[in-house]
């Protein structure tokens, strides 16, 4: 399994530029001053919470795989999701860029078909959407009911409500018309796959019937996951716990850097899921965009300074983005070596 190293390098250079502009605009010296308030013990605790988040979503992936008839231990689930997070974090457009690599890794590690690996990681991403929207709606509703809000908060609430309604409706319509969707996908995938097969070695030119069969197998696998209610319920519980861990990590980051300010916990239930939308930007893991989104959400809601919000965002992302890249890179190398053996 290979990544496009040139695209990854360009992406990280762009991310470094965006992140550098944010830090420069807020003030490098001021951020350094605020970060000195963070004790090593608190930093280790925040990183540990980030690891628990990875483990929770790894267990959720195990239950999705179980629904597909693929057995994976809790340890394998952790390694697989850490590797998936690694792929998402180093490729542009978040999950959209990393899922093909994650699916290939899952299929190789579990000795299953590629379509099953793709369904597993796509199903987990879909499950993760549910608690993220619920957390954002609960946090926003609480904040609007308790405090006077400005136009920015109302705009965020409108976007979250639109996502909460629009995405499930589109998913339902797509599933109800899945046979038409299959035909359209085959019409798009077959020419692209054939062109790649004619110009790239080792791919081959597929027949249309073979493409249709693979797409049909993909939708049948989705149906198997959707009808396994017990596995879905347990996976959703793990997913919710994972989101809670990320919210705790951001709250601890704010709490450690603002000892004299009483931070309302509702802010993290708003900021974490809403800022995660920025991970779909054409930057690796949304680096720079997610941090900027966190600052734009935290400052007007909590009233803390941009320096404090930026510092907290950097600590939070260190625990939920940079450290998982290190873990995920090691997990990917381990799984690939094991698959080779």
DSSP states of 189-215: HHHHHHHHHHHSTTT----HHHHHHHH
Give the pLDDT of residue 199. 47
Q: What is the pLDDT of residues 199-235, one digit of tens each?
A: 444 445 455 665 566 666 666 666 677 778 898 899 9
Asked whether the beta carbons of 45 and 112 are under 8 A apart, the reply is: no
- Domain spans of the chain? 5-15+36-175+230-340
3-state secondary structure of 84: helix
Structure tokens at 337: 């070596």
Give the pLDDT of residue 201. 44
Q: Count the helices and strands in the chain (H runs, E runs).
A: 14, 0
How many whole angstroms separate alpha carbon 141 and alpha carbon 90?
Answer: 34
Give the pLDDT of residue 76. 92
pTM over 0.75: yes
Asked whether the beta carbons of 293 and 277 are under 8 A apart, the reply is: yes
Residue ranges in the chain modelled with pLDDT below 70? 1-5, 7, 93-97, 146-154, 157, 164, 174-175, 178-179, 181-183, 185-223, 260, 341
How many whole angstroms separate alpha carbon 277 and alpha carbon 174?
Answer: 22
Give the pLDDT of residue 152. 63
Give the pLDDT of residue 206. 55
Give the pLDDT of residue 89. 86
């Amino acid at each position: 399994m290979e990544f496009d190293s040139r695209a990854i390098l360009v992406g990280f250079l762009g991310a470094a530029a965006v992140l550098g502009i944010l830090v420069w605009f807020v003030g490098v010296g001021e951020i350094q001053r605020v970060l000195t308030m963070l004790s090593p013990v608190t930093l280790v605790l925040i990183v540990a919470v980030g690891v628990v988040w990875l483990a929770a979503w790894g267990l959720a992936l195990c239950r999705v795989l179980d629904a597909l008839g693929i057995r994976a231990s809790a340890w394998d689930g952790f390694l697989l999701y850490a590797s998936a997070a690694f792929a998402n974090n180093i490729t542009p457009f978040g999950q959209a860029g990393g899922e093909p690599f994650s699916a290939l890794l899952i299929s190789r590690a579990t000795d299953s078909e590629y379509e099953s690996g793709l369904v597993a990681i796509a199903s987990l991403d879909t499950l993760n959407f549910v608690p993220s929207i619920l957390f954002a709606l609960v946090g926003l509703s609480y904040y609007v009911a308790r405090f006077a809000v400005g136009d920015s908060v109302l705009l965020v609430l409108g976007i979250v409500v639109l996502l909460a309604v629009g995405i499930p409706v589109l998913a339902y319509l797509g599933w109800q018309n899945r046979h038409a969707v299959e035909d359209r996908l085959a019409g798009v995938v077959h020419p692209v796959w054939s062109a790649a097969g004619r110009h790239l070695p080792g791919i081959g030119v597929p027949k249309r019937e073979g493409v249709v069969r693979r797409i049909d197998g993909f939708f049948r696998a989705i149906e198997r996951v959707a009808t396994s209610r017990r596995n879905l319920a347990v996976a959703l519980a793990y997913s919710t716990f994972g989101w809670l861990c990320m919210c705790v990590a951001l709250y601890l980051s704010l709490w450690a850097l603002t000892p004299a300010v009483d931070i309302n916990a509702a802010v993290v239930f708003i900021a974490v899921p809403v800022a995660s939308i920025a991970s779909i930007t054409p930057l690796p893991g949304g680096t720079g965009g997610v941090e900027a989104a966190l600052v734009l959400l935290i400052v007007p809601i909590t009233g803390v300074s941009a320096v404090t919000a930026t510092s907290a965002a950097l600590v939070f992302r260190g625990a939920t983005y940079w450290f998982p890249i290190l873990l995920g890179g090691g997990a990917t190398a381990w799984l690939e070596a094991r698959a080779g053996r």
